[in-house]
A and B are shown apart, each in its own frame.
Chain A
Amino acid sequence: MTVKELADKLSLKAVNDIHDKEIHGVFISDMLSDVMAGAQAGNVWVTVQTHKNTVAAANLVDISAIIIARGKAVPEDTVQMAERVGLTVFTTDLDSFQIAVKLYEAGIKPA
């Protein structure tokens, strides 16, 4: 599944342009440290963190897209950073568990 297909399937709202990539699994954590140590390339990253640092960490480990849970607003500098590195950032009003369930139902599981 690709980022665009996921957006359509889960009705996710992108805060920037959709940069379509292949998705390989999901990683859920609110710590950049966890992502640097444990995420795998192609993972969709579910988090409540909106700081632009998240984008820098996601780019380092080749995350396919970030989903910001719980409807948190994404700062403009984070959006700009996401555009710079070519990474799609979505927001959803669902919490991390709820979006995890939807990802699972869509066929995306921890890689």
Chain B
Amino acid sequence: MASGKCKHKWKMTNVKYGFLVNEKCYHCGMLRTYFTFEDVPPKEEHKEGEHYWNYAGSAQSIKFDMKCAECGEVVSFEKLMGLMQCMYCDDRCYFNTISRICESQNIWVYGAISFDVGHEADLAPEKLVVLTDYFTSRLRTPGKKIIVLPGSLRKNEETCHGLILRDVGMLSLEPEEEAA
């Protein structure tokens, strides 16, 4: 990604639709998010190791990879669960501070929320650069930029009110009990 002579021109590839599923372990309180391509998000309680996972909500979303239109390199974003925009919920949060500073310069900050084996784990910096380059390359507004930063800059992932870009409120496409 960072090496070589190619000035990459990233395009989305392998775009797949599915559900982001949130689960909570009632034993230890841990939260996790995963992506499923099933038609309906699984809701059954299940045990994995020492955790008892319970369904805690879902929303439609996409998974994708990036492919360079010039050299053909493909970068996987298997662990990316979504992009998040800060809602300024906590003045002591680094993400809040960075977002406010950048927005005053017309630079819009999005957090990459990613999980690895059930635990939130940041994408490699090189992958954040790919996302930043890609979304910035899509812009037309003069002076506007997008920057994608690690989700771990949030002070507290469990209390964060950041907006994760996913299809909430798609009532006709969600299970009836959620739409009610």
Contact = CB atoms under 8 A, between A and B. Distances in A.
B163 A32 contact: no
A84 B60 CA distance: 25
A11 interface: no
A42 B167 contact: no
Contact of B138 (A22, A32, A40, A53): A40
B165 A41 contact: no
Nearest to A21: B141
Given A31-B167, A40-B138, A41-B138, A56 B60 contact: no
Q: Is chain B's interface secondary structure helix, strand, loop, or mixed overall?
A: strand
Contacts of A49: 169
B108 A42 contact: no
Interface residues of B, number: 27
Contact of A56 (B61, B141, B163): B163
Interface stretch (A59-67, A93-101, A102-110): A59-67
B144 interface: yes
Contact of A30 (B12, B61, B165, B170): B170
A19 to B, nearest CB: 10
Contacts of A52: 163
Nearest to B63: A33
Contacts of A57: 165
Interface of B: 12, 15, 17, 60-62, 64, 83, 85, 103, 108, 110, 135, 138-141, 144, 146, 163-170
Nearest 5 Cβ contacts at the A-B interface:
A41-B140, A33-B62, A56-B85, A62-B139, A56-B163
5 contacts: A32-B165, A51-B169, A53-B168, A57-B165, A59-B85
